[in-house]
Amino acid sequence: MTEPEDPSRERLKHHFAQRVIHQARQILEIWQRLQRSEWSSTDLSELSEANLRLLRFAERFEQPEHSQLAEGISQSLQAVDANRGRLSSHLITEINRLMQRLSRTGLRHGDQLEQTFLPPLRKPIYVMLQDHDRAERLAKQLEFFGLSALALDSVAAFRTSMVERLPAAIVMDVDFSGPGIGLKLAAEAQEGLEQPLPLLFFSLLETDTPTRLAAVRAGGQEFLTGTLEASSLLEKIEVLTCVAQYEPYKVLIIDDSRAQALHTERLLNSAGIVTRTLIEPIQAMAELADFQPDLIILDMYMPACTGTELAKVIRHNDRYVSVPIIYLSAEDDLDKQLDAMSEGGDDFLTKPIKPRHLITTVRNRAARARNLKARMVRDSLTGLYNHTHILQLLEDCSFRARREGKPLSFAMLDIDHFKRVNDSHGHPMGDRVIKSLALFLKQRLRKTDFIGRYGGEEFAIVMPDTDIDAACKVLDEIRQRFAEIHYPAQPQDLWCTFSAGVVEMSDDSDSLMMASQADEALYRAKHAGRNRVQSARQSKQSATFSSESTDSVINL
């Protein structure tokens, strides 16, 4: 007979796992800090030392996945040393891939390691309201979104908690424990900290300007009044506490001179920018489709075609109309430079160029391009990808999954009885529910999944490297937890559910076919009673959905 697990041993496992997670967090913070400046040997040494500590902790506390990742990072950093401190495009890509995997070990629910004893990386959110019962309800709602939240009922409890662990954010009633005490307590908490804590003040009633001014002086970054609703609060916390997964800028260098192209590549690689070099400009469009760069560096004079001609060809494709093009040439005639920029270019840099000038220009242009693209491809209400872009991502992921021989699933979600929500509670409440589900999906899904607002109350999810059974399991767990969220309303609180249809890519299905089949599965889920996840399994003979296809329904 198997002996039951020793509870004290379980607590030790949990404690040790936290040590590993905290060390992983330190590595990720160093990695993100590296991206804000040109990399130096000191920075890389700090990263290497932190990684060695992670390796020791992971081996000591029996965390095999962290051991594997730390060993991979160590090997990549050793390759940097062997290359005399120079970072090749391949090494940058490999280190970033390992960092992405490391960030997924505890940042999101539903990942593999959540089944072990590893807690989320996120620190708790401290919630202090005059009405403690209300604070506890709010903390519980935040936990539904995958956050750790703690409602504190006294000044002493807050001070003790601050000594034990600094929070990810503080939600503080200005009159917590008495008129104006919350403001003083918050200001006290910020004293002596290297980095101020994200602080959101709350008042049940509208306040005057002096109170808001005091909140600003106490370090408040938001001031909320009236009804505190979990999804809206989470949206603000996300903005204030977001430690975004770093994605290196990608630059395509098009230059017929291999020596010049390699020189440019080395300069950008030294700043942690991923590059790809193209010597044959005629292959530019195929390379753009495969690499999807943030920016293009283009030589002016090449045998096959001029830089301005190639810029025109690139701009003919709507997908690349907003990708910045920087000419890098020895041409010093100002009129010719201006003419070139009028033909699809965004900037003109003259050789020879100082490394810092090149790196700063590329970074600034790429950052603005990403910001602009985000506005173009995202839905304004939810911040999710819009209809057109989520289908484009499905097509891109389908191509990649086939090339790598990996599974791919696609899901369509629809909020049940949404018209009743709008009719009974008004469109602002409808918008709140839509935003709530969007935030919930972002919290519960992996960073590698793509989430889009397909239209109205309908959502779409692209799930790379995921078969249909795993996709249905994850979405059904999300469905159950989403149904537990309540929205304060009159005459009674509101609860909502959603239905989903899921499809897995087959050998002969394309993105449009997958979208159609997922939509059909969603329709069947609605017809079968709503609040369920239904898969559309494709037969091996045909990629089209038919009545003979095997359907599996995950019931309530």
pLDDT of residue 301: 85
Examine the domain organization and report whether 142 and 104 are in the same domain: no
Examine the domain organization and report whether 148 and 171 are in the same domain: yes
How sure is the predictor about 110, in pLDDT bands with cuts at 50, 70 and 90?
A: very low
pLDDT tens, residue by residue, 37-84: 556 667 778 888 888 988 888 888 778 888 888 898 888 888 876 666
Give percent above pLDDT 90 in the chain.
Answer: 21
Examine the domain organization and report whether 401 and 545 are in the same domain: yes
- Euclidean distance between the first and final Cα of the chain, in Å? 35
Query: Does the structure show a pLDDT above 70 at 372?
Result: yes
The pTM assigned to this predicted structure is: 0.56
Domain limit, last residue, from 115, 150, 179: 115
Question: What are the catalytic residues?
Answer: 457
- Coil/strand/helix, residue 536: strand
The rounded distance, in Å, linking the Cα atoms of 278 and 255 is: 6
Query: Does the structure show a pLDDT above 90 at 549?
Result: no
Here the CATH number for the domain that contains residue 150 is 3.40.50.2300
393-432 burial: b if 16+ Cβ within 10 Å, else e: bbbbbbeebeeeeebbbbbbbbbbebeebeeebeeebbeb
Whether the Cβ atoms of residue 314 and residue 298 lie closer than 8 Å to each other: no
Examine the domain organization and report whether 171 and 223 are in the same domain: yes
The rounded distance, in Å, linking the Cα atoms of 232 and 10 is: 36
Residue 380 falls inside a structural domain: no
| Strands 125-128, 169-173: pairing kind | parallel
Top-ranked range on mean pLDDT: pick from 95-99, 137-141, 466-470, 506-510: 466-470
DSSP states along 95-123: HHHHHHHHHTTTSSTTSGGGGTTPPPSSP
Residue 250 falls inside a structural domain: no
Examine the domain organization and report whether 302 and 445 are in the same domain: no
Examine the domain organization and report whether 195 and 326 are in the same domain: no
Here the CATH number for the domain that contains residue 421 is 3.30.70.270
Whether the Cβ atoms of residue 475 and residue 533 lie closer than 8 Å to each other: yes
Domain limit, last residue, from 97, 115, 133: 115
Closest CA to 154 of 177, 175, 136: 177
- Coil/strand/helix, residue 550: coil
Residue 165 falls inside a structural domain: yes
443-479 burial: b if 16+ Cβ within 10 Å, else e: bbbbebbbbbbbeebbbbbbbbbbebeebbebbbebb
| Strands 199-203, 222-225: pairing kind | parallel
Examine the domain organization and report whether 424 and 537 are in the same domain: yes
The radius of gyration of the chain from alpha carbons, rounded to an integer in Å, stands at 26
Examine the domain organization and report whether 443 and 469 are in the same domain: yes
Examine the domain organization and report whether 269 and 412 are in the same domain: no
Mean pLDDT (whole number) for 229-253 = 70
pLDDT tens, residue by residue, 169-206: 899 999 898 888 988 998 888 887 777 888 999 998 88
pLDDT of residue 460: 95
Domain residues for the domain of 295 are 264-375
Number of domains in the chain: 4
Residue 2 falls inside a structural domain: no
Can you read off the two tokens belonging to residue 116?
């072990």
SS3 annotation, 426-486: CHHHHHHHHHHHHHHHHHHCCCCCEEEEEECCEEEEEEECCCHHHHHHHHHHHHHHHCCCE
pLDDT tens, residue by residue, 438-493: 888 887 888 789 999 998 899 999 999 999 999 999 999 999 988 888 787 777 77
Examine the domain organization and report whether 108 and 132 are in the same domain: no
Residue recorded with tokens 């209809």: 387
Examine the domain organization and report whether 350 and 410 are in the same domain: no
Residue 78 falls inside a structural domain: yes
Query: Does the structure show a pLDDT above 70 at 521?
Result: yes
Residue 11 falls inside a structural domain: yes
Examine the domain organization and report whether 371 and 391 are in the same domain: no
DSSP state of 256: S
Residue 259 falls inside a structural domain: no
CA 437 from centroid of its chain's CA atoms: 16
pLDDT of residue 241: 63
Domain limit, last residue, from 193, 226, 241: 241
Residue 1 falls inside a structural domain: no
